[in-house]
Amino acid sequence: MLLLNSPLSDLKGVGKTTVTKLKKLGLLTVSDLIFYFPFRYNRFENAGSIADLQEGQEAQVLGYVDLINNRRSARRKMNLTEAIVQDDSGILKVIWFNQPYIAKNLQVGDLVSLAGRVSEQFGGLCLISPVYEKITNQQETSTQNLHNTKGIIPNYHLVEGLTSKQLRYLLKQVLPLAGELKDSLPTEIIQEYGLISLPAAIKKIHFPEDEAHLEEAKRRLGFEELFVWQLRAQLIKRQLKGRQAYKISYNETATRQFVSNLPFSLTAGQKKSGWEILLDLEKNIPMSRLLQGDVGSGKTIVTALAVLNTKLSNTGKTLIMAPTEILASQHFETFKKLFPENLKIALLTSGRKEANWQLGKIKASEIASDADLIIGTHALISDKVSLAPVALAIVDEQQRFGVLQRKKLSSLNGLNNLCPHFLSLSATPIPRSLALALYGDLDLSIIDELPAGRKTVITKIAKENQRETVYQFARQELKKGRQMFVVCPLISPSDKLGSKSAKEEAEKLKEIFPDFKISLLHGKLKSSEKEKVMTEFLDQKTQILVSTAVIEVGIDIKNANLILIEGSERFGLATLHQFRGRVGRGEEQSYCFLFTESNNLETTKRLEALVKHHNGRELAEEDLKLRGAGETYGFLQSGFPELKIASLFDYQQIKAAQTSAEKLIKLDPELKNWPKLKTKIGQIEEGLHLE
């Protein structure tokens, strides 16, 4: 007798080979299979006639096999199974590749249901590698269950040698057991939001009868995913409120003096965000806040206000952790200029240890004991470095760090076991629904405007036949004393990828721009080499910097007003937006050229979105429309919820899940009455620890 915890080897049609393949998908038991959801669906309407088929259509056809045989393709050296299928309206050619067994499964005279995309090849319309089902009862073709070729057909992520058709066959065996599943959602929540039961949702997500059933299932299962994630966020918030932090008093006189000495005025967004942070620091509960602002919006200055008040409160150090040595080094130089006196600043990375108040070599222990502000990479959380007491911990470009790294930084205990305040920074534009889903445990501050005087970067798509025109324009700008970035997808040439490499491009540009000095920057250079390259570019000793994606964040060269991006179709919109943010930081008009050899319609739409939109949030929404939640900005990386069903962009559902989670945590802070929910949260934690 099959049970939810029965091994999949108990199912019909599952031998040792199939068990091994299922195991690669993480499927060991019946329960695992039931919760292995489709990632997309084919929609095959009721069978139409062969005469009515159109090229490009997803279609289902019912017909009799007139001819079927196997042959060897001389050109491609593969087995071809070719068939002729007919109905009352006409005949259709069908071809399968490397599936010779089909000629044994189907015989001349069989009535078959075929489903797939209609192509125009071999002088007429045909179906290439369609899914097929043999009709066993020719008298009842309208009532026979066709699970692979009719209606809304689920497709699953697979491994080699396993098909969605096989998974559908296995699921048909086990789905009756879904009725034994117990809901983990509270009944009150199910009723409040009109959700269907878990067993009903499981059945409808795998084999929906229509679109309405599918949407019901997605809504129910998606809500539970978001609800569990929000429960976890609320538990983290509650834990933080139960801990004590350094109380950092607001020094109004010094803060006003610092702001008045700046060579520019703060924007309204900077003032508002800065005040929210300073108010948090005055509390003895650990701050947990995300500061989000577009590229060049001035997050560093807001951070400086927090650093200043932390120093003046004499409570403990400030740490700033950056994802790359280049960005950490830039922060080091920036803060040295902002605080030329009275603030001891140190830089600590795996390749470099330096302090601005002391020359020569310096040990990490000496930095830790003397510094007011320590800036570094992940080296800051090395077990070999003791940094206590830490009053304020800041993570820049925080989406680039895993949850555990951020958690370790924010939990550095100081005197009397006090916790630091925690501030995350992100230049990645985040729609409000996504921010709520990903950062439910963080309060959100947003800088939604750029400093006055910034000119919009003119962005253009460039094809290969326009290259010389772009180079001529670049040459004119370089002669005016400007500088240029050139970004390539690869470090070295690759025959497989066919993309331009930084090394190759740097050599080519030396011939094209012989009058200008060219430097090369990529991730495999040593720290000292990277620093030398960047310093020379900053000092205008070189005019053209050829780089890989290492310049995506943290490079601030005000004299650079040109950026050429090679193979732009290989980068996501967010990355391209970050690249573009490397220019436009000075007073001169800046330009971004997106080189692409692709004529793909979707690629063109994405690049055109970058030409049209310059606001990061608008781009985020556009990226969502064009690419979908699973791909947008690569958010689904370690430390973020890899949701199977829920949309990270359904604000209403996320908000409802958060509200429900808050209510439940208030009633039952330890989730003593909800062990299944507690288990699900534990599974999230376990997954994060595997990063």
Could you give all domains of the chain from N- to C-terminal order, each with its CATH number? Answer: 1-39+162-181 (1.10.150), 42-155 (2.40.50.140), 252-447 (3.40.50.300), 458-613 (3.40.50.300)
CB 558 within 8 A of CB 531: no
Q: What are phi and psi of 579, to 5 degrees?
A: -55, -50
What average pLDDT is seen over the chain?
Answer: 84
The number of CA neighbours under 13 Å toward the Cβ of 466 is 14
Task: Choose the most confident range, by mean pLDDT, from 259-268, 303-312, 488-497, 594-603.
Answer: 303-312
CB 364 within 8 A of CB 389: no
The mean per-residue pLDDT over the stretch 498-505 comes to: 80
What pLDDT score was predicted for residue 304?
96
What pLDDT score was predicted for residue 484?
96
Lowest average pLDDT, out of 23-32, 257-266, 337-346, goes to 337-346
> Can you name the residues that pair with 79 across neighbouring β-strands?
72
445: confidence class by pLDDT, cuts 50, 70, 90: confident
What pLDDT score was predicted for residue 629?
43
Other CB atoms closer than 10 Å to residue 42's CB: what's the count?
Answer: 19
Task: Give the angle subtended at the CA of 677 by the CAs of 671 and 679, to the nearest 5°.
Answer: 100
The number of CA neighbours under 13 Å toward the Cβ of 688 is 18
CB 421 within 8 A of CB 246: yes
Residue 470: pLDDT above 60?
yes
Higher-confidence residue of 422 and 47: namely 422
Lowest average pLDDT, out of 29-43, 223-237, 385-399, 474-488, goes to 385-399
What pLDDT score was predicted for residue 623?
66
CB 131 within 8 A of CB 168: no
What pLDDT score was predicted for residue 358?
47
DSSP β-ladder status, 90-97 and 124-128: parallel
Q: Quick one: DSSP state of residue 3?
A: -
Higher-confidence residue of 370 and 486: namely 486
Sign of CA dihedral 532, 533, 537, 542: positive
What pLDDT score was predicted for residue 325?
82
What pLDDT score was predicted for residue 633?
37
Q: How many Å from the N-terminal Cα to the C-terminal Cα in the chain?
A: 38
What pLDDT score was predicted for residue 636?
37
CB 53 within 8 A of CB 200: no
The number of CA neighbours under 13 Å toward the Cβ of 525 is 21
The mean per-residue pLDDT over the stretch 409-424 comes to: 74
Q: In this predicted model, what pLDDT tens digit does every residue of 326-366 receive, in sequence order? A: 888 889 988 998 998 778 898 887 766 666 654 344 566 66
CB 339 within 8 A of CB 345: yes
Cα gap 439→423, rounded to integer Å:
12
Residue 496: pLDDT above 50?
no
Q: pTM of this prediction?
A: 0.67
What pLDDT score was predicted for residue 638?
39
Q: In this predicted model, what pLDDT tens digit does every residue of 624-663 receive, in sequence order? A: 666 544 443 333 333 455 678 887 667 788 889 989 999 9
Q: In this predicted model, what pLDDT tens digit does every residue of 88-144 receive, in sequence order? A: 899 999 999 888 999 999 999 999 999 988 888 877 889 988 989 888 776 555 545
- How far CA 500 is from CA of 181, 319, 550, in Å, comes to 53, 38, 16
The mean per-residue pLDDT over the stretch 432-448 comes to: 72
Residue 323 burial class via C-beta count within 10 angstroms: exposed 0-12, middle 13-18, buried 19 and up: buried
Cα gap 273→554, rounded to integer Å:
21
The mean per-residue pLDDT over the stretch 450-462 comes to: 85
Higher-confidence residue of 190 and 406: namely 190
602: confidence class by pLDDT, cuts 50, 70, 90: confident
Q: Which two tokens stand for residue 531?
A: 């620093």
Q: In this predicted model, what pLDDT tens digit does every residue of 670-691 receive, in sequence order? A: 999 999 999 888 887 776 554 4
Cα gap 591→458, rounded to integer Å:
5
Amino acid (1-letter code) at residue 679:
T
Lowest average pLDDT, out of 93-97, 148-152, 399-403, 640-644, goes to 399-403
What pLDDT score was predicted for residue 143?
44
Type and span of the H or E element at 169: helix 164-174
pLDDT over 90, % of the chain: 44
Distance of CA 242 to the CA centre of its chain: 32
Cα gap 294→299, rounded to integer Å:
9
- How far CA 202 is from CA of 31, 33, 196, 214, 553, in Å, comes to 11, 11, 10, 10, 43
CB 93 within 8 A of CB 80: no
The mean per-residue pLDDT over the stretch 248-264 comes to: 93
Residue 434: pLDDT above 70?
no
Is the previous residue joined to 389 through a cis bond, with omega within 30 degrees of 0? yes
The mean per-residue pLDDT over the stretch 377-382 comes to: 78
DSSP β-ladder status, 345-348 and 353-355: antiparallel
